[in-house]
Chains A and B, each alone.
Chain A
Amino acid sequence: MTNNTSPKRHMGLKASNAISNTLIHVLLIVISIIWLIPFVCILLQSFRVESTWQVGYVIPQKWGFDNYLSLLQTDFKRWYLNTLIIALVNAVLQTIIVLCMSYTLSRFRFKMRDALMRFMLVLGLFPGMLTMIILYRVLKDLGLTQANAVPGLILVYVASSGMGYYVSKGFFDTLPKSLDEAARVDGATRFQVLYKIILPLSKPIVIYTILTAFMAPWGDFVFARYISFGTSAGMNVAVGMYNWLNKDMIGSCYTMFCAGGVVVAIPVAILFMCLQRYYVEGVTGGAVKG
């Protein structure tokens, strides 16, 4: 503040600041309520016992765990296990692939590097949906669809994951090159540089990659439905539970969907919240560097 500010104006500023802060607090509370409503509703309805279809009120008249128990009667366990396996394997393999790709493109200057990156940029402009048809047929020939959809899905997720190298490449770009050079001068091979120097420094981006690779399969719907194609044993949670909300089943499965949603969401959300810091670093870095 400058000296010529009169005490009165100073008071005014303070007061207006207080008012605007109160307003912002109110607004934030309203926003939070809007953001929370769907999740509160889904949680409350998962405990509703008196009816299984959609109703126009939020708070159940009779509470109980019936919906969770009836989940056990369905193939839900199988879907859950499928998704968990896909997510875990995908998290490991995809991280390896993405790190290989991004580290190489960040640190090595080889003949085809620029051409390769431009090529992948153009590839990325094609709608991925288009390739589903052929991937389905190829996987079918390999016997990796329907009941065997789990390895099929893993194969496709992992194989195409190299395209998503941008965020972690941005991270590696920020690590000083002098580290590599110093180690090289001391006689380390490129592999030793990666293993002994870069990897220990890359914890945030490794965790970010693992986290996103783990979360993606839980939400994949289109491709998983294409591959499992009506065979319950090969479905993931998204595909299986989607059917509960179609016209014929919504009457008997609506509250079960809510219960299933809670069971799926809670572990994933807790994991995400624990690792949130790394996620934020990743998305911010990725957005800034494009």
Chain B
Amino acid sequence: MKHYSDLEFLQLSKWQRFLYRLLSFFASIPRGLKNGVFAIGRFFKNAAMGIGREFRDLVTTFRDGDGNTKLSYLIMGWGCLRRGQILRGIMFLLFELIFILYMVFWGGYWLSMLPSLGKVGPGEAYDPILDTYVYQYNDNSFKILLYGVLTIFFIIAFIYTWRTNIKQNRIAEQILKSGKPLRSGRDDLRSLVDDQFHKTLLALPMTGILLFTVMPIVFMILVAFTNYDGTHDGYVNNLFTWVGLKNFNTMLSWTGAGGHSYAATFGEILAWTLIWAFFATFTNYFLGMFVAMMINKKGIRVKKLWRTILVLTIAIPQFISLLYVSKMFAKNGIVNGVLMDLGIISQAIDFMGSQAHNALLPRVMVILINIWIGIPYLMLIATGILMNIPADLYESAKIDGASGWKQYTKITLPYMLFVTGPYLLTQFTSNMNNFNVIYLLTGGAPNNAAASWATGSVGYTDLLITWLFKITTGAEAQYYLASVIGILVFVVVAVITLIVYNVLPSIKNEEDFQ
């Protein structure tokens, strides 16, 4: 495609510029892919070189080091202990002892079972004491996978610590050679609240994230390659085992029972998820900005009152407001009752479509109710930002005779978009995963009969995230499919994030706004 110079680019109209950016983004995909491949290659090359350097360093440290250093390769902390750094030495030694004990008694078992995820399943076994056959539970695939992953984490931590131990020996030798004293245990403790303070501060949060976010995510990614489900629960009924890419084949294949496949269902739900995220984000954005501008306008009275009323939807827990609103719109709910009393309608409308065959109305309804929930946030945010727009911009625009609409499109909107670009993006992705609104309002209803027949209960307002939830809680609880969906959601969100970062000017180019 044609490549414009900066000057040519500035001559384009707004739409042409946007189109140009979009096109050049797509045109740059092959190059991007190539760069990506090279970057991965470089990464591996760097990693290999890094490892090589570390090994060389290990060898030279061993060769040049004294006896204490050499012994530290086997007994961690030996060098520290002999050189008087008692605290460090004890910590290293303790860590090594714990690691060895753990690996001997538990870790070795988990690690050896990891490739098979359990050998002996539950079943009948002869009990010589009772002289009868009893049902026995044996290996536990779930625990094997879980503790296997944890053991690998632990081994990595051990290797890192071992390496640190050796590095410290070399440094200690150098310091002693130059005639300076080593840091004492007291110095070490003091440094924890001083120059190493970040380690102290991060220790607790990072442990939490590692154990309760990283580990579960690694585990669930691995589950996508097993057949873990309600019947293969790994302990009580059957073991589960590795199945390779089979689950991805299931999810992405176009052939399925009754002509409706998982791929088709996934596509349908993904399309609605994107539509929902688009409308949920932008209706809130523009209407919230509009409301904020109305309240901010000069001459509007009791500004505080309007804001307080709107903010009520933030202050009151969503499960109350959303559940209640969903019941208001039920077939025998208040809205239908009042409308019928007033004679506007003669028959109750099925807004939330628990039985309806019409998917459009519930879809519009969730978007509308989401506006009710979302405008207050945007109103708050927009109020803060709008107040920051320099007033003289508007003054000079007025003098030049710009209409209100012109002021909006030329000053307010560009400023807002510029400032809130990243926020819009996170809003979009979090709307894609907006479980609460959909689940509490419709629970996914109305039922999508064709898709449900082939792929388990699916509704027309289901997002990928609520579908994932349904899959894990249904009678069959196909955890492996849920994992596949989770991974695919991650891919979709990551791709959108990448595209937006590359196309949206306000995020990338901070100088664009004048």
Contacts and interface: CB of A to CB of B under 8 A. Distances in A.
Nearest to B324: A42
A20 B229 CA distance: 61
A2 B490 contact: no
Contact of B208 (A130, A158, A250, A287): A158
A57 B337 contact: yes
B490 A56 contact: no
A156 B212 CA distance: 7
Contacts of B479: 133
A261 B334 contact: no
A41 B334 contact: yes
A97 B202 contact: no
Given A31-B291, A127-B490, A158-B208, A134 B216 contact: yes
B500 to A, nearest CB: 12
Contacts of A141: 143
A257 B319 CA distance: 11
Interface secondary structure of A, over-half rule: helix
Interface residues of B, number: 97
A210 B497 CA distance: 30
Nearest to A55: B337
B380 A280 contact: yes
B402 to A, nearest CB: 14
B104 interface: no
A174 to B, nearest CB: 14
Given A24-B300, A130-B483, 14 more contacts: A21-B300, A28-B294, A28-B295, A38-B325, A38-B328, A130-B220, A132-B472, A134-B216, A219-B319, A269-B315, A269-B316, A287-B385, A288-B385, A288-B423
Closest 8 pairs (CB-CB, A-B): A56-B337, A290-B422, A284-B384, A159-B208, A162-B205, A131-B216, A190-B197, A191-B193
Interface of A: 2, 17, 21, 24-25, 27-28, 31-32, 34-36, 38-39, 41-42, 54-58, 97-98, 100-101, 103-104, 108, 110, 120, 122-123, 125-135, 137-138, 141, 155-156, 158-163, 189-191, 194, 215, 218-219, 221-222, 237-238, 241-242, 245, 250, 254, 257-258, 261, 264-265, 268-269, 272-273, 276, 279-280, 283-284, 286-290
Interface of B: 142-143, 146, 190, 193-195, 197-198, 201-202, 204-209, 211-214, 216-217, 219-220, 291, 294-295, 297, 299-301, 305-306, 308-321, 323-325, 327-328, 330, 332-334, 336-338, 340-341, 372, 377, 380-381, 383-385, 399, 419-423, 425-426, 429, 433, 435-436, 439-440, 464-465, 468-469, 472, 479, 482-483, 486, 489-490, 493-494, 497
